[in-house]
Amino acid sequence: MSEERSLLRRLRDRDERAFRELVQAHRDRVYNICYRMLGNRSEAEDVAQEVFIAVFKTIDSFREESKFSTWLYRVAVNHCKNRIKYLARRHDRDRDELDENSGGINGATTGMPVRAPQPDRALEGIQMEEVLREAVNSLDEEHRIVVVLRDIEELSIEEICEITDLPDGTVKSRLHRARLALRKKLQKHMTS
Amino acid sequence: MTTDNEDDIIATLSDYVEGTLPAAKKTEVEAKLATDATWKRIHGELVETTKSHDEISGLLKARKEPAPESFTNDVTATIHKRSAGLFFGRRTFGDRVPFSALLVVAVIGLLVIGYILWSSQTGSLKMDKRRGETPGSSIEVVPKP
């Protein structure tokens, strides 16, 4: 804890080495949250960068009332939500333009950029990753957040409540519904 | 337990399935499970998802994505680029412009100027050269020989 305090103090003093230490310590987790939320590596990298820049810029506003990591993940989740909204708007706009240009022939797609399913999908390696990515991506944003934080990042329900600003009961019920939906989508790929 | 809101039922049953519910509540839940169809249905779903959850969670965790190797350098370089190299290093007044302090200084300055104008006999910030002069100091009473 005192190490974290000292790192925060150095961050507030605009110490570049402290910033690098911070990024090094949390980059994988922040990147993974962004990747699972956005389903795209380059978007995830871009958003994860923005998260660290925002944290560094606003470090003075962190009051140390919660764990630093909780605050960091909250910033990450908020950035991801904003990017999802932006991508959905951009997708809608692109679709409208496509409709206008093609007379509405090719426009039958929905909100998030999910790739069209391919036939012959095997269960292992890269293809299993694709199946999982698409299954997580197909969840509603509010369900995706809790699955990513709980089932992938293994955060506690209390931490998820703090990050999402939701009451305990809502987090649990969303988690249950998300797991039900995920199970339905992945059922044919599971052994049990 | 008086409400039948589905979110509340799920939250209570999640704790029941995970074994974190206090003994008194546990008895209450078991009574509900014996009589209430909604409670029974949600309990069934929770047991099913718990069974498959470990497998799904295992698959997801096994595929955690590490950040690219160059990530730390990239983000630091982005900060340097955006701020033309000025981002790191403490600023004289911190990161925020101290607007409130500047406002106080400005108000005090205006008050001082206002007071000077109000008390000035020339009606401007110029000094009245004659002010404070005694008649004897400007006119030589005894002419030089």
B116 touches chain A (CB under 8 A): no
How many angstroms away from the CA of A96 is the closest CA of chain B? 33
Task: Tell me whether residue A23 is exposed, middle or buried, using C-beta atoms within 10 angstroms of its C-beta: 0 to 12, 13 to 18, 19 or more.
Answer: buried
Q: Are residues A7 and A99 in the same domain?
A: yes
What pLDDT is attached to residue A55? Answer: 92
Instruction: Tell me the mean pLDDT in the region B101-113.
Output: 92
| Residue that is last in its domain, among A113, A134, A149 | A113
Query: Which residue ranges in chain A fall short of pLDDT 50?
Result: 104-119, 121-123
Inter-helix orientation angle A168-186/A125-137, to 10°: 140
The pLDDT tens digits for B43-69 are 999 988 887 777 777 777 777 788 999
Contact between chains at B65 and A31 (C-beta distance less than 8 A): yes
B140: pLDDT confidence band, cut at 50, 70 and 90?
A: low
Residue B20: CA count within 13 A, CB half-sphere:
7
Q: Are residues A101 and A22 in the same domain?
A: yes
Q: Are residues A57 and A88 in the same domain?
A: yes
B21 touches chain A (CB under 8 A): no
Interface test with A, best of B43, B65, B83 (most A CBs within 10 A): B65
Q: Are residues A11 and A100 in the same domain?
A: yes
**CATH number of the structural domain spanning residue A12:** 1.10.1740.10
Q: Are residues A56 and A87 in the same domain?
A: yes
Domain with A53 in it = 1-113
What pLDDT is attached to residue A90? Answer: 83
| Residue that is last in its domain, among A78, A113, A148 | A113
Number of domains into which chain A is organized: 2
| Residue that is last in its domain, among A61, A84, A113 | A113
What pLDDT is attached to residue A110? Answer: 42
Q: Are residues A18 and A101 in the same domain?
A: yes
The pLDDT tens digits for B15-26 are 999 888 888 899
**CATH number of the structural domain spanning residue A189:** 1.10.10.10
Q: Are residues A2 and A79 in the same domain?
A: yes
Contact between chains at A172 and B14 (C-beta distance less than 8 A): yes
Q: Are residues A104 and A160 in the same domain?
A: no
Q: Are residues A1 and A95 in the same domain?
A: yes
Residue of B nearest to A54 (CA): B79
What DSSP string runs through chain A?
-HHHHHHHHHHHTT-HHHHHHHHHHHHHHHHHHHHHHH--HHHHHHHHHHHHHHHHHTGGG--SSS-HHHHHHHHHHHHHHHHHHHHHHHHHHHHHHHHHHHTTSS----SS--PPPPSS--SSHHHHHHHHHHHHHTS-HHHHHHHIIIIIS---HHHHHHHHT--HHHHHHHHHHHHHHHHHHHGGG---
The pLDDT tens digits for B71-92 are 999 999 888 888 766 666 555 5
How many angstroms away from the CA of A125 is the closest CA of chain B? 10
How many angstroms away from the CA of A120 is the closest CA of chain B? 20
